[in-house]
Amino acid sequence: MQQIGIGLAGLGTVGGGVFKHLTKNRILLMERLGLELVVRKIAVRDVAKARAVAAPAELMTTSWRDLVEDPGVRIVVELMGGTDAALELVLSAIAKGKIVVTGNKALLAEHGREIFKAAAKYQVPVFFEAAAAGGVPIIKSIREAFIGNHIQSIHGIINGTSNYILTRMTASGMGFEDALAEAQRMGFAEADPALDVNGWDAAHKAIILASLAYGFWVGTDKIYVEGIERITAEDIRFAGELGYCVKLLAIIKADEKGEIEARVHPALIPRSHVLASVNGVFNAIAVRGDVVGDTLFYGCGAGQDPTASAVISDLAEAAAALESPRRGFGFTPHALYGNCKPISSVVSEYYLRIAVVDKPGVLAQVAGILGELNIGISSVIQPEAQEGESVPLVLMIHYATNDQMQTALARIAGLSVVKRPPRMIRVENLA
């Protein structure tokens, strides 16, 4: 049977999973593909390091260049992490005519334009299903299954760590710090969880999805990113009273003029919507196309096995591409859509929590500022308190631009009856 040589860069969590399952399911893959996927070389930083998945010593090397230079390696799998060395490896492999498979979301988000320009130049495809939502086949679906659709919107819960934290805060009433500590004890959050909780892990994935959906590579400076660090148990409780839950949401959509929104931030979503029931470390992505309508993808968004499954799927497709060259190389640019809207002009609904002194006329002062800026109030919650005490005033705000709301927040914060800077969370009704 024909053998296809693979060079594997990285034998960590995901790389180890890929090697393990290629070995374990070797016969299944041979039967389904009609060829054999064989790992010829594995590049690691330290050959002597103890690993959960062992590989034969004769396959190991400390130089990724050995993968690129080996004529027996036809597909290079980049799972080494980081961006500098990974970019050099990917571009070198493409220049050598070797197909690339990667799960490196940061690499693609920051250097996708450069990588796919090289792929087109050398006519070498790049596969990257594992770069967004782990085992959920969202890349392939947007690129292939929905090829005949204008993508109207994508709403995704695509960071399992943040989703676990918000789920625990909702279920138990605990604060952010306690929920994060629990996630770390459970192994769902890294010792340094910054990229997860500050929104940038989800943002890297959102950049990839937005670029595929709309045909131009979205720069990291064009996406609005806000994390969950400032979400409080109080916010979650009030959201529940109003019929919402709080999720870290990736929002990608096009308006009737073809302008694009790409943003990641906490959002109130209706508890009646299916995304509200996505809990723990699971991911879900709702895609709306003008032909297909509404679709939903759900599954494990990270971890060794789900991500390895996505990589192996790409390996199978890469092997097929060796036999039948294709016109597309992973990303097809086009000019049907315009640029990204700045967050200042994005229109949304809002949840607004203000710590105020409980005395007559406070609501009128706040409403007056909002009215002067042509911002409407849809509902109000104000718990009872002793006169003169600080109390939360919670407002649900009708549609307004971000600029309008920032102006309003600055003016409201200047009121003598307001004790702390107001807290704003966007609302997505997902209609």
pLDDT interval class at 325 (50, 70, 90): confident
What does the alpha-carbon distance between residue 380 and residue 366 come to, in Å, rounded to a whole number?
11
Convert the pLDDT of each residue in 398-410 to its tens digit: 999 999 999 999 9
- Compute the half-sphere exposure of residue 149: CA atoms within 13 Å on the CB side of its CA: 22
What's the residue count for the chain? 431
DSSP states of 227-250: -STT--HHHHHHHHHTTEEEEEEE
DSSP states of 206-229: HHHHHHHHHSSPPPTTSSEE--ST
Residue 390 has pLDDT above 90, yes or no: no
* Mean pLDDT, residues 165-193: 95
* Mean pLDDT, residues 379-404: 87
pLDDT of residue 324: 85
Residue 388 has pLDDT above 60, yes or no: no
* Mean pLDDT, residues 88-100: 98
CA dist 27 to 3, 6, 19, 367, Å? 13, 17, 14, 68
Structure tokens at 177: 């710090």
Q: What CATH number matches the domain at 3-134+304-323, 3.40.50.720, 3.90.420.10, 3.30.70.1560, 3.60.130.10?
A: 3.40.50.720
Tell me the pLDDT of the chain averaged across its residues: 95
Report which secondary-structure segment, H or E, holds 35: none
pLDDT of residue 301: 85
Closest CA to 362 of 388, 336, 339: 388
pLDDT of residue 385: 66
pLDDT of residue 107: 97
Closest CA to 52 of 98, 80, 3, 16: 16
pLDDT interval class at 302 (50, 70, 90): confident
Say which residue the tokens 């299944």 belong to: 28
Q: Within a 10 A sphere around the Cβ of 204, how many other Cβ atoms?
A: 26
* Mean pLDDT, residues 218-227: 96
Residue 67 has pLDDT above 60, yes or no: yes
Residue 276 has pLDDT above 90, yes or no: yes
What does the alpha-carbon distance between residue 420 and residue 282 come to, in Å, rounded to a whole number?
35
What does the alpha-carbon distance between residue 288 and residue 285 come to, in Å, rounded to a whole number?
10
pLDDT of residue 350: 98
pTM: 0.95
Residue 169 has pLDDT above 60, yes or no: yes
> What is the set of active-site residues?
205
* Mean pLDDT, residues 29-57: 95
What does the alpha-carbon distance between residue 405 and residue 400 come to, in Å, rounded to a whole number?
7
Domain boundaries, the chain: 3-134+304-323, 139-300, 343-427
Convert the pLDDT of each residue in 104-163 to its tens digit: 999 999 999 999 999 999 999 999 999 999 899 999 999 999 999 999 999 999 999 999
Q: What CATH number matches the domain at 343-427, 3.40.190.10, 1.10.1740.10, 3.30.70.260, 3.30.1180.20?
A: 3.30.70.260
Convert the pLDDT of each residue in 361-380 to its tens digit: 999 999 999 999 999 999 99
pLDDT of residue 203: 98
Residue 386 has pLDDT above 70, yes or no: no
**Domain topology for 139-300:** Dihydrodipicolinate Reductase; domain 2 (3.30.360)
